[in-house]
């Protein structure tokens, strides 16, 4: 399966969007001002298409994202929404339509399936997402009950000290955030707190999709012995994606939503919120946290 983006060169290299965009700004300090360069987190649309062996093509989603790890983002989104399973993806590539300008090609990902495009209502519901709100019209708890099982209890237990160290470990791995100050991050950690993979994006849910896509494309699902740490709040969308990936523990720097807590309690996930310094709240699954 081809999952590695090709190296850019020539005209394509100039047009291909990167994670950082440089702009000129006027900085004011008191009564004085100066012109300087500023680095911004790039936000660009990404269209995710599915194609079948018979040539059928369908757009599944258009999401606003930070360029980088686009193939993982596509794979993770499709897995989290229940549109593909293990072995369903034959190849992932950027669009090669010659009538498109290079920048448009790198904002369109085509996922080629081994079989037909699934006939699911979700395909009509998930056409447009944004970097801020997650998937519009996301699947309800009833739909999750139809396709997801509770996370097994397993042997994973975590100490408070291990939890307290996760936010700083995540922050240290945020290379683009250090330059722009404008990105969310999601980190996957082993049971001993070792970072496994970290992804950044203007959208919290996109960062999680990139992590899940990384795991899916490398044959590492389900993530039964791992912890997911996110830099913002724990929303329903993030908990849904964690459940689909088999992640038993989700930690967030900020607060969870009520529906996120409901999902965690029903499906056996551990949910930790307000993880800052040496304090946190365990909203569900406290049996996995040793105290």
d(CA 249, CA 244) in angstroms, rounded, equals 13
Strand order, beta sheet including 89-94:
57-65, 44-51, 108-113, 89-94
Strand 89-94 vs strand 57-65: parallel, antiparallel, or unpaired? unpaired
> Phi and psi of 194, rounded to 5°?
-70, 130
d(CA 250, CA 55) in angstroms, rounded, equals 39
Give the Cβ contact number of residue 20 at 10 Å: 18
Q: Which residues pair with 34 in a beta bridge?
A: 27
228 closest CA partner among 169, 277, 290: 169
Catalytic residues: 133
């Amino acid at each position: 399966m081809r999952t590695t983006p090709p190296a850019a060169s020539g005209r394509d290299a100039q047009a291909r969007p990167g994670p950082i965009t440089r702009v000129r700004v006027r900085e004011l300090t008191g009564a004085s001002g100066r012109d300087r360069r500023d680095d911004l987190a790039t936000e660009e649309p990404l269209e995710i298409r599915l194609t079948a062996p018979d040539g059928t093509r369908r757009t599944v989603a258009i999401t606003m994202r930070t360029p980088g790890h686009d193939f993982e983002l596509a794979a993770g989104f499709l897995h989290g929404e229940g549109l593909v399973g293990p072995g369903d993806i034959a190849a992932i590539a950027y669009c090669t339509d010659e009538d498109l300008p290079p920048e448009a090609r790198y904002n369109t990902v085509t996922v080629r399936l081994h079989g037909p495009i699934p006939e699911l209502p979700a395909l009509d519901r998930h056409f447009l997402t944004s970097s801020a709100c997650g998937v519009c019209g996301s699947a309800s708890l009833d739909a999750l009950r139809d396709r997801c099982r509770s996370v097994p209890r397993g042997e994973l237990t975590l100490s408070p000290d291990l939890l307290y160290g996760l936010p700083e470990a995540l922050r240290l791995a945020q290379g683009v955030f250090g330059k722009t100050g404008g990105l969310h991050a999601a980190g996957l950690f082993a049971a001993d707190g070792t970072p496994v993979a970290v992804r950044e994006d203007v959208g919290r849910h996109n960062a999680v999709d990139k992590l899940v896509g990384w795991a899916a494309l490398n044959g590492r699902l389900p993530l039964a012995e791992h912890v997911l740490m996110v830099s913002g709040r724990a929303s329903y969308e993030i908990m849904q994606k964690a459940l689909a990936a088999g992640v038993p523990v989700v930690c967030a720097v900020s607060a969870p939503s009520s529906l996120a807590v409901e999902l965690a309690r029903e499906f056996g996930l551990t949910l930790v919120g307000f993880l800052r310094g040496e304090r946190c709240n365990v909203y569900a699954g406290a049996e996995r946290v040793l105290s």
